[in-house]
Amino acid sequence: MILPNVRASFGASDVETLLQLLEQRTRRSRLRWKGQLVEEGIDTLLDHPMTLSAVMENRSVSALSPKLAFYVMVRHTLLDGGLDNADIADYVAALLVEFAEKERAFRIARYDDKIYRYVVDLVSELEGESSERRQFLLRAHLGNYSLWLSGLFPDYVIARVHRRGAPGLDYFEELGSSGFIMASECELADRHDLVDIYQEVARGFRVVRRALNRVSDRFFFPDSTSVDRLLRQAVDCVDHSAPGRADA
Q: Cα dist. 210→100, 140, 176, 178 in Å?
A: 19, 20, 13, 18
What per-residue confidence (pLDDT) applies to 210? 94
All residue ranges of the chain with pLDDT < 50 are 242-248
What per-residue confidence (pLDDT) applies to 247? 38
Please state, as a whole number, how many other Cβ atoms lie within 10 Å of the Cβ of residue 27. 7
pTM of the model: 0.89
What per-residue confidence (pLDDT) applies to 244? 42
What per-residue confidence (pLDDT) applies to 246? 41
Report which residue type is found at 79.
L
